[in-house]
Amino acid sequence: MSRYNTVEQAPPIEVFEINKACLADPAPKKANLSIGVYRTEGGAPWLLPCVKKTEVAMSQDDGLNHEYLPVLGFEPFCKAAVSLLLGDVSTSPPVAEGRAFGVQSLSGTGALRVAAEFLARILKYTTFYVSNPTWENHRLVFFNAGFKQCNEYRYWNEQKRGIDFEGLIEDLKAAPANSVIILHACAHNPTGCDPTREQWKAIADVVQDKKLFPLFDSAYQGFATGNPENDAWAVRYFANERNIELICCQSFAKNFGLYNERVGNITFVVSDPSIIPQTKSQLTLVVRGMYSNPPNHGAKVVCSVLNDAALRENWMDCIKTMSQRILDMRVGLRERLERLNTPGDWSHITTQIGMFSYTGLNRAQVEYLISQHHIYLLKSGRINMCGLNPSNLDYVAAAFNDAVRNIKITANKL
C-alpha cells in the first residue's frame, strides 16, 4: 500500500490541456487560439531582435557568472521595471521621493504569489476581489497564499459585450475596508475591455473613499495600445496623481517574449519611505521561504534592453509590430464575419484591445468548433488573437459562422 494512495486526481489546467490537445491533433487544418503567447504571421514564436542581440553580447561577456542574486533580485532590473511602470524621477513623485521600490519575481504569477502572501501574512488581509470574469489563476494564487474570502465585482456585460461599469462601481462601493482589489492594468484578460480614463478616475475615488487596497496585474504593458507609456496610465494615475498606496505585479513574458525565463517584478508604492526597510525585511523572508532567490538571465536581458537607448528603441518598435499585428487580425476577423453575414454584432472584436478577444461564443459553440473544425479555444469563448494569421483567417471565420448559425444554445449553459 503506497502512502500516496490517498492522493486525488486534480482538475486539469484548461489552457494547457487545450493547447496539448491541439498539438496532438493530427488534423491537417487546425487553429490554436488558446494559450496566451505571441505568434508571427507564420505561426511561429518570435525571438525579439533586441533580446537576441543582448543574449549574444551576454554570451561573450567574461564578467558574467552564475552566482546567486540577492533574495529580492537584481537591483538595476528592479529599478528599470519600476521606472517603466511609474516613470522616472522627473515624472513620478513616488520615484522621486523614494516611495517606490521593486522586488524581482518569477514572472507575473510569482509576483502575484509573493504579493498575496505578504498581504495575507504580514498585513493580515483576508478578502480579495476579482473581476467577473478574470484570469483563472488569480483565485488559486490568492487562496494558496492564505486569503480566506474571494468576492467578485461585475465587469462583463454580455448584452453589450463591454464593461458593466455601473455594476463594477456598485460592487466596489459595497466592499469592506482593507479588501484587496485585483485590477488589470491594461488589456484585461480575458475580455480585452479596459476602463476609460474617466472610469479609472471613478474607480480611484471608490478605492480611496472605501479604504480598499489596489493590486494591479500588469501582464501586457505595450500590448494594449502599442505604447508602454500609455498602457501604464491607470497605475500612474493611482500612484502619481492620487498618491494611493498600491502593489503592481509586472510580467515581462509577453512584451519581451521571455515566457520560460520567468521575468517579473513587484512594484510597491508607499506613502512613507521610512517603512521601506522593514517592508523589505518581511518580503525577504517571504521569498526566502518560497524560492530563496530569483533567476538571473531574463532579468539581465530586460535590464540591458531598457537601459540602452538603441536597444530600447528597437524594443519599442517590436511592441508596435506585435500590437499592430494583433489589431490587423481583429480587423480581418471582424470583416470576414460581417462579410459572411454571421448573426450578431461583431464590432466588439475591434473595440476590444490586447492579446485576447472575448468573442461571445457559448460553450456549446466552442465544443463544436473544437470537435468539428479543430479550432481550439477556451470554453469561455476567449481567443488569443495571435493564433490568427493570414493563412487561417478565412477558415476560422467560416467555422465561427457555421457554429453561430447551427449551434444556438445560449450563454454558456453547458
- For this structure, is 135 an active site residue? yes
Q: Which of 46, 79, 135, 194 is catalytic?
A: 135
Assign residue 178 a region (left: φ > 0; alpha: ψ between -120 and 50; beta: otherwise): left
Q: Which of 164, 254, 315, 346 is catalytic?
A: 254
Identity of the residue numbered 195: P
> Is the Cβ–Cβ distance between 180 and 129 less than 8 Å?
yes
Q: Which of 164, 194, 217, 231 is catalytic?
A: 217
| Nearest alpha carbon to residue 209 among 236, 249, 152, 169 | 169
Measured CA to CA, the distance from residue 75 to residue 101 in angstroms comes to 10
Backbone angles phi, psi at 132, to 5 degrees: -115, 100
Measured CA to CA, the distance from residue 157 to residue 354 in angstroms comes to 18
> Is the Cβ–Cβ distance between 376 and 30 less than 8 Å?
yes
Q: What is the DSSP letter of 122?
A: I
**Grid cell for residue 165:** 461599469
Half-sphere exposure of residue 245, counting CA atoms within 13 Å on the CB side? 12
> Is the Cβ–Cβ distance between 384 and 254 less than 8 Å?
no
- For this structure, is 217 an active site residue? yes
- For this structure, is 254 an active site residue? yes
Residues recognised as catalytic: 135, 217, 254
